[in-house]
Structure formats: C-alpha cells, structure tokens
Amino acid sequence: MGCQQSSIDEPHQVVIVGASFGGNGVIKGLLDEHDGESLPPTLHVTMLDEKEDFAISATNQFVWSNRLSSTDNQVPSWPLSKLIAQKVAHSFRTGEAGTVMELDWEGKQLKMKDGSSVKWDTLVLSPGVVSDPSSIPGLEESSAIDVAAKKDVESMKKEVKVLSNGPWVPKRVALIAVTRMPYKCPPLPFELASLLHNVLEKAGEDVRSGVRIILSVPGEFPFGGPPIKEKFCALLKEMNIEFWTNHVIKSVEHEEVSDNDGDSVTASDVEDSHTGSFTINFEVGEEKEEKSLEADVFFCTFPQRAPDFVQKAEVCNKIGLIPVDLQTNSIEGRENAYAIGDACHTVFPKPNKPHPKAGEFAYLMGLQVAKQIMAQQKGEPGPEPQKRKGKCVAEVGIKGNGVNVEPDFSSVLANPQEEAPKFNFSEVGGAASAKEVWVNSYLERFYGKENYETFVVDE
C-alpha cells in the first residue's frame, strides 16, 4: 500500500523578537483569539529575547529619588522565565540563544548568537532601541547621564545626592535635555525635572534655590495638545524650572578636574568647587542661532535607534527606526512582517507627529498585530482599526501630585487623513501610588496573578 500525503498542514511559524511590552501584547492577543489560555493550534510561536529579566523604565525614577526601599533602592526586574509567554510559547529562548545577530529576509530566518537559526512565516520585531550618541559630537565622551538607561540610574542617584548637599554659591546648573525626537516616554523629562525640584526642596529651600534647573527640548512642546502644554508649563513655572523650546543640541564638551591625589574625576565629584564641567552647544529656532550653556550636571534622553541586526537588514529610515503602517504596524515593503514598540516609526498625518510607542502603546500595538496574524490565518479581511487609548500618570513633584494624561488615538487610526489625536488630562493626588498600580497591572497581565514580585513604592 502506497504512502498517503498528510492532510495536516504544518503550523504557521510566528517568531516574536522581544519579550517586553510589545511582545507580551502579541502573546496576549493570540491567547485571546483562541481560548485565553493556549495559543491557536494552527500556529507555532517562538519568542526571543537577549535578556534574562524584564524591567520597566518607569520604575527608575523611584530609585534615584530614594523611594524604593522594598528593593533597597535598586532598579527592580522580573525574570523572563516566569512569564505567561514562557509557559505557552512553543519555544522561548533567552541569552545567546535569544540574541539575533542577522536578519535574512530572503531566507526568512534569523541567525542567532549561539550559531543556530530560527525560521519564520510571520515575523514580529519588538526589540526595543539602543542609545546611540554618535550623532552628537562629544556626547558619548562627556559622561552625560542617559535618563532612559538602567545602567545610568546609579550615576544619576549619585549626582542628585551631590546636588542635595548644598546650598551652592554660586548656583549649580542642572540641565535635563531631550536631545532628539522621537524619544522614550514623552512626559519623562518633565517628570525628572519636577522630581529633581522636589528632592532638592526637601533638602531645604536654600538647597533648591542654589540649583538652576533647565529643561530643553529640540522642538515645541513634545506631546499632547495646547491644554496639556499650558498645564505643564504652568507647573514648571511654579517650580522655577526654566523651559527652553526649539533648542537643538549640536555638540557637547566635557571638562575633567582632578582631586587632591591627581586622579581624574568629574566636576560634580568635587563638592566644594564650581567648574561647569559641561558645555552644551545649541542651535536655537528657525534662525539656528548659536547658544552655549555651562552646566554642572547633564541628564538627557540619548538619540535612539533600532538594534544593529535591524540596521544591517536595511529596513530602517534615516533616523534609524523601522517605518510601519499606522493602522497595522506592517513593515513597509515586507510581507508578513511587523514592527512594534520603540523600534518602529509611524506618524499621525494631520499633526505630522510620531505615534508614541513605549510601554502601554507597544502593548496595544501587539494586541492589534495578533488580530492581523489570526485574520490572515483564517483567510479573513484585516481587523478594524484598534480603539487605542492609553493612560500615563506623570509625577509633577509638588506634594506628591501628578497629571493624568489620557491619549485617545481611536479616531485617527480609523480615519488617519482627517482626524487628529485626542488628549484628556486631569490633576491627580498620590501620583506615585497611581504609578505603582499601573506597573503592577502590567506585571499581572504578563506573569499572572500572584506570580511576580509586587512593585511597592514608599509612602
């Protein structure tokens, strides 16, 4: 009797690169498209991540401001091995086995650091971004602190502690700058400026008055609409924080000083001196007027781009990110390939501003991509545009209060050419507690109830 060809098709290979908000959003979406507990049987899902742990950058500010005694004021993280995704995915690879070195479009495979290859039928890229200071001369060598980088949190804590040892005469200058657009978490620099104000004020009014805090951005107000701009600008003014718009950083110079033993240290290490160890050179406004600032402390968002393996795959735009369709997150010119989260780039046409991509919005993008994948599997039309709403509680540093910003992109996703993003906002008390609730809500989604270490901030 002759052999018969199997009527069972091979499962569709879905490969997800990145086990953070975006990747977990895809997993949650695929679970929801089936029975909520297991992945659709027509799929074989592989999840890859070079890390072993999951961290949330929104927790960093509690570390450098010494409000996280539950972790001895260390940056918290959670093991990827306990994720729901690790339990339900057919393959879950971390470390060298999860580190992508090369993306082969023609062969539809990823070459991994451990020498193996991973094939895909559908590829979802959610690898995050890497800081790349190379576009700003002097930034990499300057010892400026990258406010979005986990590795720089301890350095930031040290710098803030030095500033808190005032009062300073003459005044110290602290610059918090957005170097390039887009950047992670639009409200973040505003939170940092206001929290720095709060920490210094708690150290004493004379300590706060001895530090000049400046917040600079390369364009106009970087998020929300006029009402949000008006509110935040009023709060900055109340805290005596200077707000410089349309200040593009062109270069950075850094001067080192020596301690009594002749060892090289930064100026902020020398508590009884005032050297202005940073010189930040700007171009201001349409006229590109030259302007320089001497600063003692320099906190900034670094320019960011997609990781090296994405750059080598020749899929990025001129700012180093992956262009995607606004409604579907499909990668331009590539079949069955999507990019979500910080590594992607898409623009709202009417205001001509980039879609926010960090955290919650990466998760929502992931949910929608899951619907795209399943519609294709079922031979159905693509899903309706997503009802995409978010929530961000930004601490403003005044008596624990904050501003709850609620973006709503539903109408603009449904009708990109005619509609614009909408924003609601309200003042809230107990902003730190609200952030705690937000963080734990996502940990529960990713890990399951009581399967993670609860994030607890100090009262």
Residue-range definition of the domain harbouring residue 275: 133-301
Instruction: Tell which of 267, 286, 301 closes a domain.
Output: 301
- 150 shares its domain with 258: yes
Does 147 share its domain with 113? no
pLDDT at 263: 46
Q: Are residues 166 and 119 in the same domain?
A: no
The pLDDT, as a whole number, for residue 183 is: 85
Q: Tell me what pLDDT residue 261 has.
A: 45
CATH code of the domain in which 68 resides: 3.50.50.60
Query: What is the C-alpha separation between 286 and 294, in angstroms, rounded?
Result: 23
Q: How far is CA 61 from the centre of its chain?
A: 13
pLDDT in tens, 179-198: 998 888 888 899 999 999 99
Quick: pLDDT tens for 16-73: 999 999 999 999 999 999 999 999 999 999 999 999 999 999 999 999 999 999 999 8
pLDDT at position 232: 87
Residue ranges in the chain whose pLDDT is less than 70: 1-8, 257-276, 398
Specify if 425 maps to a domain: no
Q: Tell me if 100 is assigned to some domain.
A: yes
Domain termination residue (choose one: 325, 353, 387): 387
Q: Is position 402 within any domain?
A: no
170-207 b/e (C-beta count within 10 Å ≥ 16 → b): eebbbbbbbbbbbbbbbbbbbbbbbbbbbbbbebeeeb
Q: What does pTM read for this prediction? A: 0.91
Give a yes or no: residue 441 inside a domain. Answer: no
Q: Are 236 and 322 in a shared domain?
A: no
pLDDT digits (tens, 9 = 90+) for 140-174: 999 899 998 999 999 999 999 999 998 999 999 99
Closest to 153 measured CA to CA, from 71, 210, 270, 211: 71
Same domain, 314 and 282: no
Tell whether 254 and 370 lie within a shared domain.
Answer: no
Residues 116 and 159 in one domain: no
Domain final residue pick, 301, 322, 338: 301
Residue 38, in any domain of the structure: yes
What is the per-residue pLDDT for 267?
42
Count of structural domains within the chain? 2
For residues 14 and 33, what is the distance between their CA atoms, to the nearest angstrom? 15
Same domain (yes/no): 260, 291: yes
